[in-house]
Structure 1
Amino acid sequence: MKIAVDTMGGDHAPEVVIKGVERARDEFSDLEFLLYGDEDQIKQYLTNTERMTVVPTQSVILGTDEPMKAIRQKKDSSMVMAAQAVKQQKADALFSLGNTGALLAAGIFIIGRLKNIARPALMPTLPGMSLEKGFNFLDVGANAEAKVNYLIQWAVMGSFYAHEVKGLANPRVGLLNNGSEFDKGDKLHQEAYQELSKIKEINFIGNVEADGLLQGTADVVVTDGFTGNAVLKAIEGSVKVLMSQLKHALLNNGSRAKIGALLAKPALSSIKSTFDVASYGGAVLMGVKAPVVKSHGSSDARTVYYALVQLRMMYNKGMLNQVIEYFDQQPQN
């Protein structure tokens, strides 16, 4: 498998990107990498070039750039050239820490969406207290508004991912709503509930409320991109505050608190492991013609490594082929 890597995206590029790539390269002999970016900076951190090809680029898409304008005007950027490599089948997948909107645009308009998929969706994996591998949540920002058929397609793709990549035998699929009853929510959610209930290929468990997400109520949760992005940021912010406050309370309240922290270290390590989102990989752009994964701009080398492992699993499991086959068999409106 050959992965095109945008080495210049993110807050600590290209150092953390190169370190993560080299770890993946060293662990998996079936991986090759095309590294797009500033040649001098890349070689500064690259320890050896085994299964690595450096492709020099002239510009970088910044986090402040307007997405569509950036991919049109910065055709010589690391992100756009990496996406073009996938489109031209010089690479099998794309990875970036860069501008989320630009990567979405590159995935949809350069690599291209899958036939019969109305709208691609962005899907991260989030922690669930009773879920060893977390739950998949989509859409979290690719589409501010949704239609019933979008939600249906996202549910099916999320279920395929949970089954094939995460190895869940019968993943539970839920619809994020403001109540668990079938008639809760607006017309969109009520209709989506009825249509999802008819799909035999997924294990639809009904509506899921926001307070049940981190409890592991479902393995896949679907929602519109506006709501999904708001919920995602609320979860990330809440977890950061709670972990910070817990650490402060244990380490800044005298010797008794510190002794208690030492005694509770195994339990605290378990909590930390559960909320270790880096180990889940990045956010997948579901519904495009090749695996595309986006990790947070502040990611470290460890996060990059797990995202590359995630891409490898998606490719080796042939998940996209199964999605294509499923939707090819469905009647199109």
Structure 2
Amino acid sequence: MRTIAIDAMGGENAPEAIVKAVLKAKTELPETKFLLFGDKEQLRNLIPANQISDQLGVVATTEVIADEDEPVKAIRHKKDSSMVQAANFVKEGKADALLSLGNTGALLACGIFIIGRIRGITRPGLMPTLPVKNSDEGFNMVDVGANAKSKPEYLLQWAQMASYYAKKIREIENPRVMLLNNGAESDKGDEVHQEAYKLLKDSNLNFLGNIEGNELLLGKADVVVTDGFTGNAVLKNIEGTSSVLLHLLKDSLLNSGMMTKLGALLVKGSLAGLKSKFDTAKYGGAVLLGVNAPVVKTHGRSNERPIYYTLKQVDKMIAENLVAEFRDEFATK
């Protein structure tokens, strides 16, 4: 039976939303065990007595890593936190994967320092799946913040892992890989990006060259590789812009007079389709690529729905034996 260790106390809607998502997912994933780490009394009050079974368990912890905690210090001093204990279960082989909605930096530290890097991987990278305008498939972008500084060889490894993930988990036969840069030409960017371009071009990846920031949502790539500083800034910009535009559109349709409201009724179906296309919940969480087990981060504001999709994502990663194949691949390099 596959086992997912879940930090049930991380995130704004914890533990209620997490428990609801687990109860929904467990009926669809009968071969998977869900271990919830957190305050025993809170969790037992949320879980119906008849649901506690070999497939769903609670591991009592007494501490929580807060969003404002300094990541490395937190995992060292809050040994009995829900996140650290869940990571220890993965390290000790008692669970196959770790999921959290909590402090991103602390989760990255748990992945790197407790669960550990895959031998041959220089730096793990954080990778979400983001929407595009002409497809429901989206694209993967890595790194989006696990590393403040990057080297060309890091970008190559991230691209290799992300491409394999896109093939195995998203079922894209020959993922198109592109390098985020400030121009399409091969000599654009600083030394890191110019050298990364050469490494990617000489690899066996389906590398299509550079992609600029204004093209990210056009569906030109299945995998976009970038340095962690730029990736984090771009990710936050995409999230913020999407939220503002949807808010402005809704406000305009509801507060611009009767004729506009009637027009909104006529295009209601199209607007629903637009909302669905940019619904990031269905893509699951961001994956920390390059560590010895699946470690996945879901947005801290998530409700039941994105957590449910992330549980299915994690389960598929375990079932596909993704990390073991990474381990075999990079150990030979």
Q: What TM-score does the superposition give when structure 1 sets the normalisation length? A: 0.97
Does the alignment pair 1:218 with 2:241?
Answer: no
Query: Secondary structure at 1:8's aligned position in 2?
Result: coil
* 1:54 has 2:58 as partner: yes
Letter in 2 for 1:275: F
Aligned residues: 329
- Structure 1: which amino acid aligns with 2:303? D
1:233 aligned to 236, 239, 243, which one?
A: 236
The match for 2:80 is: 76
In structure 2, how many angstroms separate the alpha carbons of the residues matched to 1:34 and 1:320?
A: 20
Whether 1:312 aligns to 2:315 is yes
2-structure distance, mates of 1:309, 1:187: 40
1:323 aligns with 2:332: no
Q: Which of 80, 105, 108 is the matching residue for 2:109?
A: 105
In structure 2, distance between residues paired with 1:188 and 1:226:
13
Partner-residue secondary structure (3-state), 1:284:
strand
Equivalent in the alignment of 2:31: 30
* 1:273 aligned partner, one-letter code: S
Cα drift, residue 141 of structure 1: 0.6
- Where do 1:181-220 residues align within 5 Å? 181-200=185-204, 202-220=205-223
Report the Cα distance in structure 2 between the residues aligned to 1:316 and 1:40, rounded to whole angstroms: 32
Instruction: Tell me the SS of whatever aligns to 1:299.
Output: coil
**Residue of structure 2 in register with 1:14 after alignment:** 15
The Cα of 1:321 is off from its aligned counterpart by 2.3
Q: Which consecutive segments of 4 or more residues in structure 1 shift more than 2 A?
A: none
Indicate the SS of the match to 1:60: coil
- Aligned mates of 2:45, 2:140 — CA distance in 1: 36
Distance 2:128 2:43 in 1: 28
Give the Cα–Cα distance (whole angstroms) in 1 for the partners of residues 268 and 171 of structure 2.
Answer: 31
Counterpart Cα distance in 1 of 2:279 and 2:45: 30
Counterpart residue type for residue 327 of structure 2: I
Deviates more, 1:313-322 or 1:82-91: 313-322
Residue of structure 2 equivalent to 1:296: 299
Alpha-carbon displacement from aligned partner over 1:160-207 (angstroms, at most 9, x marks no partner): 00000000011100100000111111111111101100111x111100
Task: Report SS of the residue matched to 1:306.
Answer: helix
Q: Give the structure 2 partner of residue 95 of structure 1.
A: 99
1:132-171 alignment runs, 5 A limit: 132-171=136-175
1:130 and 1:321 mapped to 2: Cα distance? 33
1:258 aligns with 2:265: no
Structure 2 counterpart of 1:226, one-letter code: F
- RMSD (Å), alpha carbons: 0.8
Q: CA deviation at 1:329?
A: 2.9
Identity of counterpart residues, as a percentage? 55
> Displacement of 1:106 after TM fit?
0.3
Q: What does the per-residue CA deviation read over 1:135-176, in whole Å, with 9 as the maximum and x for residues that have no partner? A: 001101100110011000000000000000000011100100
Does the residue aligned with 1:213 lie in a helix, a strand or coil?
Answer: helix
Per the TM alignment, residue 64 of structure 1 is displaced from its structure 2 partner at its CA by 0.6
Corresponding residue SS for 2:217: coil
Task: Give the aligned residue type for 1:91.
Answer: A
Q: Aligned partners of 2:66, 2:254: CA distance in 1, in Å?
A: 38
**Partner amino acid, structure 2, of 1:113:** R
Question: How far is 1:69 from its partner?
Answer: 0.5
SS in structure 1 at match of 2:80: coil
Shift of 1:318: 1.7
Shift of 1:13: 0.7
For residues 189 and 96 of structure 1, the distance between their equivalents in structure 2, rounded to whole angstroms, comes to 32
How far does residue 52 in structure 1 lie from its aligned partner after superposition?
1.0
**What is the CA–CA distance in structure 1 between the aligned matches of 2:44 and 2:305, rounded to whole Å?**
20
CA deviation after TM superposition for structure 1 residue 322, in Å: 2.2
Give unmatched runs, 5+ long, in structure 2.
Answer: none
Letter in 1 for 2:189: G
Residue aligning to 2:275 = 272
Looking at structure 2, the residues matched to 28 and 326 of structure 1 have their Cα atoms a distance apart, in angstroms, of 29
Q: Give the Cα–Cα distance (whole angstroms) in 2 for the partners of residues 325 and 57 of structure 1.
A: 35
Give 1:131 deviation, angstroms.
2.8
Query: For structure 1, which runs of at least 5 residues remain unmatched after alignment?
Result: none
How far did 1:7 drift? 0.2
Query: Of 125, 128, 131, which residue of structure 2 is paired with 1:127?
Result: 131
Task: Give the match's secondary structure for 2:218.
Answer: coil
Aligned to 2:180: 176
